[in-house]
């Protein structure tokens, strides 16, 4: 079987990208990262791509460029690359429905909260402010509803009494890297499918909160 052709979209540090690169190199993911695309030229993840000889593309938005126009450029690049799977790994842009629809069932996102709680930004701050004792990270298929696509899997972390957004965030980050690699490995092995709002793993329809990965 041909290894799953993966494109990873980033905007920053690329910690998740690194975890995915490592999992591919360790053959835990039966795939190949054929390209990394960043919307920011200073993203450290681009250095990671270079170090691992992965083609890297910078696609910065022009000043005042409408979202639809930027997305059309991204759409064209993705069509040229022709991936089996698009992985959003800290890509800080909302994608237009046309792009998302094109990759329905083969575009993943990781979100640093236990969805459906805390869509959007500042998730660690919000979990602390609300006095949550449990927080975590979720991986889901991407739809045009922000952070609201069908959930695949989640990992939890405790919120400790004196946590700051930073200490809590570090705990979440550690789980993110394990969780994302695992979900991508399932997809690449053909074990993971998305049919409408249903997520199917190993021929079993998952509950709407997804499967827990420790
Ligand atoms: C992660 O917290 C991820 O959940 C969120 O953006 C952050 C990206 O971090 N979507 P990194 O660039 O992978 O280190």
Could you report the per-residue pLDDT of 184-200, keeping only the tens digit for each?
999 999 999 999 999 99
Query: Above 90 in pLDDT, residue 1?
Result: no
Cite the active site residues. Answer: 111
Smallest CA-to-CA distance from 190 within 175, 179, 200, 176 is with 200
Ligand 1 mean position to 210 CA, how many Å? 20
**Does the reported pTM lie above 0.85?**
yes
Any ligand 1 atom below 6 A from CB of 110: yes
Any ligand 1 atom below 6 A from CB of 89: yes
Can you give the three-state secondary structure of 89-126, one letter per residue?
CCCCCCCCHHHHHHCCCCEEEEECCCCCCCCCCCHHHH
Could you report the per-residue pLDDT of 95-154, keeping only the tens digit for each?
999 999 999 999 999 999 999 999 999 999 999 999 999 999 999 999 999 999 999 999
- Quote helix, strand, coil % in the chain, to nearest 5: 35, 25, 40
For residue 199, what pLDDT is reported?
A: 98
Dihedral sign from CA coordinates of 119, 121, 123, 126? negative
Any ligand 1 atom below 6 A from CB of 169: no
Dihedral Cα 81, 85, 89, 93, nearest 10 deg:
70
Greatest pairwise CA separation for the chain in angstroms: 49
CA distance linking residue 51 with residue 101, whole number of Å:
32
For residue 2, what pLDDT is reported?
A: 86
For residue 18, what pLDDT is reported?
A: 98
Could you report the per-residue pLDDT of 40-87, keeping only the tens digit for each?
999 999 999 999 999 999 999 999 999 999 999 999 999 999 999 999
Tokens (6 digits) for 183: 């979900």
For residue 179, what pLDDT is reported?
A: 98
Tokens 């089996």 correspond to 84
């Amino acid at each position: 079987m041909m290894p799953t052709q993966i494109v990873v979209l980033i905007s920053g540090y690329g910690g998740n990208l690194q975890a995915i690169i490592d999992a591919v190199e360790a053959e835990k993911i039966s795939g190949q990262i054929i390209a990394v695309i960043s919307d920011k030229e200073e993203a450290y993840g681009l250095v990671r791509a270079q170090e691992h000889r992965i083609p890297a593309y910078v696609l910065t938005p022009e000043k005042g460029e409408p979202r639809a126009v930027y997305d059309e450029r991204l759409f064209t690049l993705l069509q040229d690359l022709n991936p089996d799977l698009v992985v959003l790994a800290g890509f800080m842009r909302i994608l237009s429905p046309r792009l998302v629809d094109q990759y329905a069932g083969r575009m993943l996102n990781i979100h640093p909260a236990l969805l459906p709680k805390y869509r959007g930004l500042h998730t660690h701050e919000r979990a602390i402010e609300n006095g949550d004792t449990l927080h975590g990270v979720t991986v889901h298929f991407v739809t045009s509803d922000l952070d609201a696509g069908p959930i695949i899997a989640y990992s939890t972390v405790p919120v400790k009494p004196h946590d700051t957004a930073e200490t809590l965030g570090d705990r979440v980050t550690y789980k993110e890297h394990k969780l994302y690699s695992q979900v991508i490995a399932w997809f690449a092995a053909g074990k993971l499918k998305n049919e409408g709002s249903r997520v199917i793993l190993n021929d079993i329809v998952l509950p709407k909160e997804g499967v827990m990965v420790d």
